[in-house]
Amino acid sequence: MGAQKSIHAGRAKIDVNVDFTHKLCTSLMFPTFRDTSSPLSLVIGSLCIKHPNLFGGSEKLDVSWDKGLYDSNVLVAFRRPRPEWRPQQCFFIQHSLSPEIGVHGTPVDNFSRSGSGGVNLSKLALGLDLSEPASSKWSSTTSIKFEHVRPINDDGRAITRDLDGFPITCSGNTHDSMVVLKQESRFAKATDQGLSHFSMQIEQGIPVVSKWLIFNRFKFVASKGVRFGPAFLLASLTGGSIVGDMAPYQAFAIGGLGSVRGYGEGAVGSGRSCLVANTELALPLNKMTEGTIFLDCGTDLGSSCLVPGNPSMRQGKPGFGYGFGYGLRFKSPLGHLQVDYAINAFNQKTLYFGVTNLASST
């Protein structure tokens, strides 16, 4: 059920988008780890409010709320108009609540799924984004934010240790606090014959207070696509590393859709470093459908033992894995449907469904 409404206040036009769906079947597709006796627990949806002229000077206010079965996210963003040649500013405050499956989840069914480890993360962040004017095919964003992370169990109570008794936070208390300076640069180029994409992120934890986390985290994604007649080959490489203070939930989680298909989220491993390679060949079957074959592989580069508490070893994760298979891509005016059939190194088969670019109801 979706709705879109425009409210006129003076000369300003406020857009309100609401989309709520009662998902009775979703709990049958995934393991249930929480009490779903409340009708609201099976409701997913989103609410978005946009004001294009908050104080009469073209200031923009965006408020969004997204709710899933087990997660939620609230974001308030305020943008002030600036000349195009100057960095664009965005002040934001965000609160999210989500299960931490990638590191503390338990692999099941030959690592094809990840069950709950009883750890959820409540995050509160506020800060400033500065988007530099795009230059040729390059763009960059600099941000600084304060982040407060509080682990809780499935009942909503604050916890400091996981189910095995190991600390969840870096501080050893019920929360971690940090000020993070982040720099992200992106390159994108697309032609009729292919595409190139590269992004690099560097995060630095700033020691404003002695007990706050001090770390340096680096991540890159490089993709190259080449067209061979009607076929299109896309290859990508993702890697990263973190040094300094670290909580287990900050580890790189390997496995799952968008990483190594055929495995559950984080079921390959979690470490201070990672490297993931993806290759996919797409062939058009008709105007609306494409067939694909793919090969994914990933490794923690032997760094799982450097994560505090070594959750990857305790859960028996292999640290290296590969998955291969085939899929279909359906295009329609309502959105794109993706179906993937993957087989992992343990010959366990997994079927993935995904829907993207849904059109909003009007």
Domain annotation covers residue 318: yes
pTM over 0.95: no
Which residue, 232, 329, 327, is CA-closest to 283?
Answer: 232
The answer to whether 240 and 227 have CB atoms below 8 angstroms apart is: no
The pLDDT value given to residue 19: 55
Q: What is the pLDDT of residue 1?
A: 53
Give a yes or no: residue 172 inside a domain: yes
pLDDT tens string, the chain, 362 residues long: the values are 555 555 554 455 566 665 544 333 333 333 434 555 566 667 788 889 998 888 888 889 999 999 988 899 999 999 988 888 888 899 999 999 999 999 999 999 999 999 999 999 999 999 999 998 877 789 999 999 999 999 999 999 999 999 999 999 999 999 999 999 999 999 999 999 999 999 999 999 998 988 899 999 999 999 999 999 999 999 999 999 999 999 999 999 999 999 999 999 999 999 999 999 999 999 999 989 999 999 999 999 999 999 999 999 999 999 999 999 999 999 887 788 999 999 999 999 999 988 875 544 43
- Structure confidence at residue 22 (pLDDT): 39
Is residue 185 assigned to a domain?
yes
What integer pLDDT is reported at residue 21 of this predicted model? 46
Residue 89 confidence (pLDDT): 92
The length of the chain is 362
| Domain assignment of residue 362, yes or no | no
pLDDT confidence of residue 78: 96
Whether 137 is covered by a domain: the verdict is yes
Copy the structure tokens of residue 166: 């190991």
Q: How far is CA 255 from the centre of its chain?
A: 13
Domain-located, residue 14: yes
CATH number (domain holding residue 174): 2.40.160.50
Residue with tokens 């936070």: 169
The domain total for the chain is: 1
**Structural domain that includes position 14:** 3-357
Is the separation of the CB atoms in 278 and 256 below 8 Å? no
pLDDT value, residue 56: 82
